[in-house]
Structure 1
Amino acid sequence: MTSVLILAWLAKSSTFVGQSAMPVVTAEAAIAVHAESGRVLWGRNVDRPMYPASTTKLLTTLILLEETNPNEVIVAPEDVKSVRGSSLHLMPGEQISAEGAAYALMLRSANDVGYAIARKLGGSEDGFARKMNDYSAKLGMTNSQWVTPHGLNNDWHKTTARDMAKLASYARENAELVAITSTQKYTIQRSLNQKDTLLETKNKLLKEDPRIKGFKTGYTNPAGLCFVGYWQTGIGDVVTVVLNSWDWAADESALANWAEKSFAERELSASTEISVAKAKDDQELKVRMREPVRALASADDSAGARLDVGGLAVTAPIEVGQGIGTGRLVLPDGTEFPVDLVAENSVERSFDLQEFLGNPVAIVLVLLASGFYWYRRRSYERFGVG
């Protein structure tokens, strides 16, 4: 009975993007994006506000790496023990390096380390939250609001699957971050607690699938199971996000496998017919793309691509291969590519007497031709010669 309810819920809540065979994903909100092109390959509730839990630490770590050097010292505040949840068990006044803090955030998911970073870089959690919001705004994350550095639940601390995919696409370009998040074990150097130094990743996919290169798990009761992932696949870099999942690892694998199976680099083309002003016998013009578009696409994309020429107006005569402007190749999910247009057939111009008589040059030519004709005719009548 439970499985029937799950499938019914999935069918009701999914936002499919035109593909014939969909991945089975349990998450309330999820997305798979081709990072190089930015194309959304699949999504569900991608703009729904969601709790991100500890996937928040991806943003915190990016700010840390960009604003410190690896050996810079992070000092635990006096009230560090008040931070609840997963922890490095920092002691007040304890020191770790910025590099160690990054590993502690991404592998141990240490909330107390996130708090220590916020106090160092922002002066307070509120000050660091302003940094987080400014940073995400620059990445175009328009539906996110950050309040804490670690993702412990706060009613105002929310993001979306689409926004987290934007963050992941940017994060994959940070080699230091990728190295950290692809590490399974790390021994941290610390000044006081010498017994708790081994950090082990919570990303179990690192042991199971060589395509996964990061990033971060997350969980709280309100948020459910979450993951933001970076995959290196046969179709290029793919970033995936699952929020409020029943099984984040299965969901992530399903998204990566489906994307790699469903998409490939393909040549896309389309044509259409348009009416032509002043065409002889009202002949229509077949318009095609000058060159096919080569892009990541599915078989459904190839079959469903259409050529949109907008309000293109053309007037006869038209020759085969003649350039006639620009248009857009549109895929079933709305993805667009600008294209140059050419004529696939020729179109003759119809004779328009009114237009002809309105042309002064034409009138002069007619008069000259008429005069020459009457001159020749009179010469023949008078002298019998042409």
Structure 2
Amino acid sequence: MLKKITAIVLILALFFSNPMIVKAQEEPKEQELYAKSAVLMDADSGRILYEKNAGDKMANASTTKILTCIVILENCDQNGVAMASDYACAQPKVRLGMQKGQQFLVKDLLYGLMLESFNDCAVALAEYAAGNVEGFAEMMNHKAQEIGCENSYFITPNGLDAKDEKGFHHTTAKDLAKIMRYCITQSPKAEDFLNITQTLQHTFCDLENRANYCCNNHNAFLTMMEGALSGKTGFTGNAGYCYVGALRQGDKTLIVALLACGWPNNKGYKWSDTKKLMQYGLDSFEKQSIKEQELTADMLEQMEVTDGKGDKIGERVYADFMIQKGNGQESFLLKKGETVEREVVMEKSLQAPVKKGTVVGTVTYHLGDEILRKDEIVIAKDVGKMDYAWYFKQVLKEAALKNLEK
């Protein structure tokens, strides 16, 4: 009997001492993550579900290569031929080991870029796309601005630490998550990006058949969790271990971005943080549709248009409304218990004339201070203003009707 009681006590102690069981649906505390900067994002809406120092400008090492990859995919022919320059060949390890003058298909160098993180592949691709690394950096920064990055500056296509007169090579966890979201859900080349980054092994040779190469995917997260979609590791002595990855399970697509997630000998920290944040997203959030609280035009109160033209003198004239939906998703991942609030702001009165398309109000859907979507309430039909000509016409019409009644 004593042995049974002792066993039960030990089992209970193990249960309550296991943080993954007790805290499965709790927001990770900052001190529970190894990364100095981290983001968990809903890839469908772009909403940040968790953040830790998300806006801090930090070196991001080879996670830069997801931007390099998507810029190449969108601007270059994958069957194009890139030639190795002296500068490309001189890149530090990790590298393919290309020799000056060797020629490669662009698509093969993309696999070297994303699977093995080869630095010489990044430079050869940059030079192929823009003529030189400086020109390609301009393309990278332009694309980052298009995506919506607010605090990023890219100098190198491979993510190696660099500085110039404008600053140092950096991004933020928030911006890095935005770039990954673009790569897997918004880019016209998203399918190509996913095909490359999900490939476990790729073999190829240069166009002169001088050497054969085999690239193996170093994104271990692909086999760590069900639904793992894509990802890219990174490390420099300045940046530390970095990672950005994506996962899809059911109706949830999640992105995790980590910067400065440990230094040697702690390669595993990034996987621990990634799994912890992904599991938090899966356990704690559910898809909710705005349609449950969506405002439609027929739900609005009637609003009289002062001096508006009607069918007869003395008739009250009311405006016809329609709702123009703003940019944004129809549904969002919300924490269990969270609800979307709706706020309607409209003009208090309307004075004729009123033109079709005139904005007379807004409908804002928000979660706390975060705006999820903003729709506009607009006039659906012109309402003219009464004038002497209209009055005269109505008088004649009424007189004609009276004569008919006689």
TM-score (norm 1): 0.68
- Cα shift readout 1:219-254 (whole Å, capped 9, x = no counterpart): 111101111112112342222211111311111111
Q: Does 1:220 align with 2:245?
A: no
Match of 2:180?
Answer: 168
Q: 1:81 to 1:266 in 2, by over 3 A?
A: closer
Instruction: Find the aligned partners of 1:79 and 1:326 in 2 and give their Cα distance.
Output: 55
More displaced stretch, 195-204 vs 27-36:
195-204
Match of 1:48?
Answer: 56
Match of 1:29?
Answer: 37
Q: Once superposed, which parts of structure 1, at least 4 consecutive aligned residues long, lie more than 6 Å away?
A: 267-270, 310-314
Q: Does 1:234 align with 2:250?
A: yes
SS at match of 1:170: helix
On the 8 A contact 1:34/1:41 being kept in 2, the answer is: yes
On the 8 A contact 2:248/2:254 being kept in 1, the answer is: yes
- Count residues with an aligned counterpart: 290
On the 8 A contact 1:212/1:231 being kept in 2, the answer is: yes
Q: Does 1:184 align with 2:200?
A: yes
Aligned amino acid, residue 106 of structure 1: M
Residue 265 of structure 1, CA deviation: 2.1
Instruction: Find the aligned partners of 1:191 and 1:93 in 2 and give their Cα distance.
Output: 11
Residue 123 of structure 1, CA deviation: 1.4
Choose which of 78, 87, 92 in structure 2 pairs with 1:84: 92
Q: 1:80 to 1:306 in 2, by over 3 A?
A: closer
Residue 339 of structure 1, CA deviation: 8.1
On the 8 A contact 2:113/2:122 being kept in 1, the answer is: yes
Instruction: Find the aligned partners of 1:340 and 1:83 in 2 and give their Cα distance.
Output: 53
SS at match of 1:245: coil
Residue 308 of structure 1, CA deviation: 4.5
Instruction: Find the aligned partners of 1:79 and 1:189 in 2 and give their Cα distance.
Output: 21
Instruction: Find the aligned partners of 1:243 and 1:147 in 2 and give their Cα distance.
Output: 18
For structure 2, the residue ranges without an aligned partner over 5 or more in a row are 1-24, 263-268, 294-329, 350-360, 378-406
- Cα shift readout 1:329-383 (whole Å, capped 9, x = no counterpart): 4324624455899xxxxxxxxxxxxxxxxxxxxxxxxxxxxxxxxxxxxxxxxxx
Alignment of 1:53-64 (within 5 A): 53-64=61-72
Instruction: Find the aligned partners of 1:200 and 1:194 in 2 and give their Cα distance.
Output: 20
Match of 2:213?
Answer: 197
State which structure, 1 or 2, has the greater radius of gyration over its C-alpha atoms.
Answer: 1
On the 8 A contact 1:49/1:158 being kept in 2, the answer is: yes
Residue 143 of structure 1, CA deviation: 1.3
- Cα shift readout 1:132-185 (whole Å, capped 9, x = no counterpart): 111111111121111011011114111111111111111003101101101111
Q: 1:167 to 1:339 in 2, by over 3 A?
A: closer
On the 8 A contact 1:59/1:167 being kept in 2, the answer is: yes
TM-score (norm 2): 0.65
On the 8 A contact 2:40/2:48 being kept in 1, the answer is: yes
SS at match of 2:247: strand
* RMSD of aligned residue pairs (Cα, Å): 2.8
For structure 1, the residue ranges without an aligned partner over 5 or more in a row are 1-18, 271-292, 315-324, 342-386
Alignment of 1:277-316 (within 5 A): 295-302=332-339, 308=343
Q: Does 1:252 align with 2:274?
A: yes
Instruction: Find the aligned partners of 1:259 and 1:253 in 2 and give their Cα distance.
Output: 10
Q: 1:311 to 1:212 in 2, by over 3 A?
A: same
Q: Does 1:116 align with 2:116?
A: no
Aligned amino acid, residue 204 of structure 1: A
On the 8 A contact 1:51/1:157 being kept in 2, the answer is: yes
Residue 81 of structure 1, CA deviation: 2.9
State the identity %: 29
